[in-house]
Amino acid sequence: MSDPVRETETLSLPLRVADLPGRAAVAFRLAPDAAARETLAADLGIRRVRKLVFHGTLEPAGRHDLRLEGTLGATVVQDCVVSGEPVTTRIDTPVSRLFLRRMPEPDGPEAEIPEDDTLEPLGAEVDPGAVMIEALSLALPDYPRADGAELDDSITGAGDVDARRNPFAVLAALKPGDPDSGE
> CA 121 to CA 14: how far, in whole Å?
15
Q: Are 27 and 3 in contact (CB under 8 A)?
A: yes
102 CB-near residues (< 8 Å, 6+ apart): 64
> CA 170 to CA 14: how far, in whole Å?
60
pLDDT single digits (tens) 90-122: 999 999 999 888 876 666 666 555 566 677 878
Could you tell me how many residues make up the chain?
Answer: 183
180 CB-near residues (< 8 Å, 6+ apart): 172, 173
pLDDT single digits (tens) 28-48: 999 999 999 999 999 999 999
